[in-house]
Structure 1
Amino acid sequence: MNLSLFPAEPAFRDRLGARLRALAAEGVYFGTSSWKYPGWLGQIYTPERYFTRGRFSQKKFEGECLTEYAEVFPAVCGDFSFYQFPSTDYWQKLFAAAPPSLQFAFKVPEEITVREWPKHLRYGARGGSMNESFLNADLFQNAFLRALEPYRQRVGVLIFEFGTMPKRQYEGVEPFAADLSAFLDQLPAGWRYSVEIRNKEYFDERYFQVLKRRNVAHVFNSWTRMPELPEQLAEPSSVTADFTVARALLRHGRAYEQAVEKFQPYKEIQEPNPPAREGLKEILERARNKRQLAFLFVNNRLEGNAPGTIAEVTGVEGV
């Protein structure tokens, strides 16, 4: 890579940062899904900050870019925690790399939210078997929350992501809602919890009531099989908490792998997504009008470049 072809654009970066800080002061936090993207060099990241002996260092970039990320964005969603229970040392290093002002959202480990392990090489011999730790509140508290406790004030929200579940796991929304209800009843107070579903048929009053009774937010999500964001927002019952969480992830009907192939290395917007933008703008205005806390996260796989999408949604020119 000839990094000289990607000069930093402080004008755009500074304008975006100023706009997002102003919104955060009103309680509306925008961020991206993860942050270690070399495709953002020259847009969000300054290449020279990651030079070692006159050359760009990928290792230095991955270890230090969160600091520069926080100069622009007030929040970030850590997807990495879905695949592991991070150690105490890992959390310490992560939070030390960012200023106290940066708000984190973390996906709860799949060990808690996957009912049946996928038949995938990554899961080895347990692929296809039922997960004995599914909705285990004790495991969640002891292996996840306990290590995060020292940083509670810097954790904006925790996300329980439930992937698409076939009928052999749950016949419908009612048994799922019952199990979810029992699980949420066991969780300690003092954290913001949210739930993201990937089954369209679970988008139902019985699911919403489980969340609403406990002030747990439904995650408004743009995803392959879910209704578009405006359609989710049109359902009055979908507002289940005194704060809002949204994740703009994929175009409706598109698989994750297809989006990766189409958009990487995520240097620019390649395919605008009007419904997702409309939904994010509506959530933004709702939160501001109600003076309600909101966390809105955008993934590179939505349009090709998450910073550019956020700039479009928040009215920052010169993407």
Structure 2
Amino acid sequence: MAISPLIRFGTSTWTYEGWKGQVYQKNYTKTAFARDCLGEYCQYLHNGKPCFRTVGNDSTFYRPPTANQLRHYLTQIPEDFEMCFKVWEEITIPFFANHPRYGAKAGRPNPRFLDAALFNDLVLTPFREAQFEPHAGPFLFEFQQHGLPGHEFCKKLDRFFSHLPQDFRYAVEIRNAGLLSPDYRKVLESYGVAHVYNHWSYMPPLAEQHRRMEQFTAPFTILRLLTPLNMPYETAKKRAAPYNKIVKELPEMRRDTVSLIKQAVAENRRAYVLANNRSEGNAPLTVQALLQAFI
């Protein structure tokens, strides 16, 4: 049975040495692997058909992509392929953590938090210059745990999305479970923005997130399968390395994922599923297991 074209499976990112011999069969130099393996990722088959029709790009959390980077991706991806980009953290962090990589900004409020002009100028402009729009999946705004009150966060989010162009799609991933509220849902609904159902250490299960949201908020939905629940990121990372096998299945995560996808498709919504190695140990095998549930 053919899987609905509304469903796109992929992984959180694609440059993992542990997938050599599995996804990657070519010989690459270390530099060439990171630069050129995307094309082979897109060609990876499961039961004779392309396994991945999307992929996440986590690197853009640390810096926006350039037009040249985007043009290089275009030389590797097929016509019917979409990439979901994380949005630059300069826009999604209200306060900079006390971390060396932030330099003098460490520990200070971020004056560019949810700056719509900055997002338009520095994030979206390269996509227009590279003519990447047909291959741009929803932009992922990842808001890590923060101390902003829910009403203040929702107010800022509302103002931000009111200034964004409508020719791109957007999705919000929160890490504060307390923000799953009617106010949050209403802001997303107002602008056709999706809630990212994230299977992450300290968020509720996927089904519980949907119960609190009550309904999908956009013509599409996104699920990111990141880490086991109640497990710190570093523990999940150590447990999963070197990412070449399933270390432990997460049955509830798989069931909830399939259920949410089926509900979205029944409502004629697109569904994007991005699996991370740190959830079960090997993201391609997690994707294959989910694909089997639709056959």
TM range (shorter): over 0.9
Q: Post-superposition shift, 1:102?
A: 1.7
Identify the range of structure 1 (234-243 vs 113-122) with the bigger mean alpha-carbon deviation. 234-243
Identify the range of structure 1 (194-203 vs 62-71) with the bigger mean alpha-carbon deviation. 62-71
Query: Structure 1 residue 63 and structure 2 residue 63: aligned?
Result: no
Match of 1:37 among 16, 35, 45: 16
Identify the range of structure 1 (186-195 vs 273-282) with the bigger mean alpha-carbon deviation. 273-282
The TM-score, its normalising length taken from structure 1, stands at 0.86
Q: Post-superposition shift, 1:281?
A: 0.7
Query: Structure 1 residue 78 and structure 2 residue 54: aligned?
Result: no
Aligned residue type for 2:277: N
Match of 1:151 among 111, 114, 132: 132
Percent sequence identity over matched residues? Answer: 35
Deviation digits for residues 58-97 of structure 1, max 9, x if unmatched? 2222222100111131100001100002222222222222
Aligned residue for 2:119, secondary structure, equals: helix
- Contact in 2 for aligned 1:50/1:60 (Cα 8 Å): no
- Contact in 2 for aligned 1:217/1:244 (Cα 8 Å): yes
Q: Post-superposition shift, 1:163?
A: 0.5
Q: Post-superposition shift, 1:238?
A: 4.4
- Contact in 1 for aligned 2:199/2:226 (Cα 8 Å): yes
Identify the range of structure 1 (28-37 vs 269-278) with the bigger mean alpha-carbon deviation. 269-278
- Contact in 1 for aligned 2:116/2:164 (Cα 8 Å): yes
Q: Post-superposition shift, 1:180?
A: 0.5
Tell me which residue corresponds to 2:66: 87
Q: Post-superposition shift, 1:316?
A: 7.2
Deviation digits for residues 285-304 of structure 1, max 9, x if unmatched? 12332232111100000010
Superposed, 1:135-146 pairs within 5 Å as: 135-146=114-125
Query: Structure 1 residue 204 and structure 2 residue 185: aligned?
Result: no
Aligned residue for 2:214, secondary structure, equals: helix
Aligned residue type for 1:254: M
Tell me which residue corresponds to 2:96: 117
- Contact in 1 for aligned 2:258/2:293 (Cα 8 Å): no
The TM-score, its normalising length taken from structure 2, stands at 0.92
Greater CA radius of gyration, 1 or 2? 1
- Contact in 2 for aligned 1:232/1:238 (Cα 8 Å): no
- Contact in 2 for aligned 1:26/1:291 (Cα 8 Å): no
Tell me which residue corresponds to 1:242: 219
Tell me which residue corresponds to 2:49: none
Structure 1 residue ranges (4+ consecutive) displaced by more than 6 angstroms after TM superposition: none
Structure 2 CA distance for aligned equivalents of residues 40 and 32 of structure 1: 12
Structure 1 CA distance for aligned equivalents of residues 233 and 101 of structure 2: 17
Distance 1:70 1:142, change over 3 A: same
Tell me which residue corresponds to 2:247: 270
Aligned residue type for 1:162: F
Identify the range of structure 1 (301-310 vs 272-281) with the bigger mean alpha-carbon deviation. 272-281
Q: Post-superposition shift, 1:44?
A: 1.4
Distance 1:316 1:173, change over 3 A: closer
Q: Post-superposition shift, 1:125?
A: 1.8
Structure 2 CA distance for aligned equivalents of residues 215 and 64 of structure 1: 34
Query: Structure 1 residue 228 and structure 2 residue 178: aligned?
Result: no
Q: Post-superposition shift, 1:173?
A: 1.1
Tell me which residue corresponds to 1:10: none
Structure 2 CA distance for aligned equivalents of residues 179 and 290 of structure 1: 30
Deviation digits for residues 200-249 of structure 1, max 9, x if unmatched? 10011110000001110001111111101121123353411111111110
Paired residue total: 285
Tell me which residue corresponds to 1:14: none
- Contact in 2 for aligned 1:28/1:287 (Cα 8 Å): no
Q: Which has the higher helix share?
A: 1
Structure 2 CA distance for aligned equivalents of residues 260 and 301 of structure 1: 6
Q: Post-superposition shift, 1:32?
A: 0.2
Match of 1:259 among 236, 241, 249: 236
Superposed, 1:117-196 pairs within 5 Å as: 117-149=96-128, 150-166=131-147, 170=148, 172-196=149-173
RMSD between superposed Cα atoms in Å? 1.6
Match of 2:259 among 279, 282, 286: 282
- Contact in 1 for aligned 2:197/2:206 (Cα 8 Å): yes
